Amino acid sequence: MSRQKQSRKSFLKTVGLVSFGSVLAKDVVYAGNINPELAKWMQEGEDLTSLGKSSKLTILNNRPWNVETPAHLLDDKITPADKLFIRNNGIPPSSVDPSTWTLTIDGESVEKSVTLSIDELKSKFEHHTYQLTIECGGNGRAEFDPPAKGNQWTTGAVGCPSWTGVRLKDVLNYAGVKKDAVYIGYYGKDVHLSGDANKVVISRGVPISKALEDESLIAWSMNGQDIPAINGHPLRLVIGGWPASTSGKWLSRISIRNKIHDGPKMEGHSYRIACDPVEPGAHVEEKDMCIIESMPVKSLITYPKSGAMLKPGQKLELRGHAWAGDLKVSEMHVSIDFGESWIKCNLEPPVNRLAWQHWSAGITLPKKGYYEVWARARDENGGQQPMIVPGWNPKGYLNNATHRIAVKVG
């Protein structure tokens, strides 16, 4: 089967997916052997509404929680808290008290180690609000063939809320950044799935140049409210345009490093792709893997929902979002004839750097029948989305193939 046919098959299969809940049996054999914090986590938050999320989201995994948002639920220009995806690697901290929470800045390349409370962050530094796009590096993994291991995200591991906090660079400069600084690495208070409090769940980071950008935030607020507990309350990093794994949640420590950060999920194949193209299914040595930085150009159709039915002569109103990592999106097009021709869309500028951009188009379909609408964005450097799944990689990262929806007239 050709990759294009396989991709379309996968696309049509996902049209019918619906969100589902999970049920945990009340009688757990050997329950006395479960770590108390892990047991508490297993008993609570079993349904999405208790996590502050819409029940219409799609659960991929609940040990740990990984939940995506169907494309049509991402229609808001600013992603609401209840529709922001969840990508967790461990257990959220069971007890959070913002009044006693602290953030430590340390590392080989810090002038002086400092520890600040949230109140001190709020009083010592200027507050900033940015709308910033965060997207899981594995968004779209479900379309890779052969399949790649990991959560089988389709299109919904992305969002663009409004974040409020202080600039990361202001806090780093307060502590003092030495000239040999290369990277920053974060640490959070989430707990390893084993329940071992001494095991670090995930500790990633970014080069110092990215950390010092104006839009890199230490945030305590999302859309004017506390960040949801499942998304990192009371404090998290927000690094727009790069894999969301760089935006550490339940933030308690940032180390300024004199080398590339080497915490868990920074090495091996995690958040890395082959430095050079490889054939599907190939084994790639760690030394030949490169860290993912800026995310590729991408777009999403958020209206109408796939499967829309139109009356003959009815205009098809389309809208969605487009984003391009560190870059701006320069053009947006849609096709209704499987890529034979393309129609230019209206494209709005971003509200600020690293925010997604909104697009719209109105199309009259020529006659009754089945159509696929394909969406393709182009970035300011001329890069554009491929029509089929791009180059295979071992972990299924960076799929930015055109998003497609099904529409029928008559």
Query: Which CATH number covers residue 334?
Result: 2.60.40.650
At 47, the pLDDT band (50, 70, 90 cuts) reads confident
Q: Which of these ranges, 42-51, 161-170, 353-362, has the smallest mean pLDDT?
A: 42-51
Residues of the chain with pLDDT > 70: what percent?
A: 89
- Per residue in 116-144, pLDDT tens? 999 999 999 999 999 999 999 999 999 99
Same domain, yes or no: 284 and 390:
no
Structural domain ending residue among the three candidates 246, 274, 292: 292
Please state, rounded to an integer, the average pLDDT across all residues of the chain: 91
For residues 155 and 97, membership in a common domain is answered with yes
CA 162, 165, 169: angle at the middle one, nearest 5? Answer: 115
Q: Tell me, what CATH number does 62's domain have?
A: 3.90.420.10
Domain that holds residue 110: 1-292
pLDDT of residue 225: 98
Co-location of 165 and 186 in the same domain: yes
Domain shared by 236 and 348, yes or no: no
Ranges 13-27, 184-198, 371-385: which has the least confidence: 13-27
Residues 273, 330, single domain; the answer is no
Q: Do 274 and 335 have their domain in common?
A: no
Q: Does residue 396 sit in the same domain as residue 269?
A: no
Give the residue from 292, 316, 335 where a domain finishes. Answer: 292
Residues 74 and 200 in one domain: yes
Q: What is the mean predicted confidence (pLDDT) over 202-227?
A: 98
Q: Are residues 326 and 256 in the same domain?
A: no
**Residue 9 pLDDT > 70:** no
Q: Residue 379: which of 404, 403, 347 has the closest Cα?
A: 347
pLDDT score of 36 more than 60: no
| Cis before 280? omega within 30 | no
Residues 206 and 284 in one domain: yes
Q: Looking at the structure, tell me whether residues 288 and 303 fall in a common domain.
A: no
Number of domains in the chain: 2
For 351-410, how does the pLDDT look when each residue is reduced to its tens digit (9 = 90+)? 999 999 999 999 999 999 999 999 999 999 999 999 999 999 999 999 999 999 999 999
**Are 345 and 277 part of one and the same domain?**
no
- pLDDT, residue 39, reads 45
Domain boundary among 230, 257, 292: 292
Q: What's the pLDDT score for residue 25?
A: 35
pLDDT at 113: 98
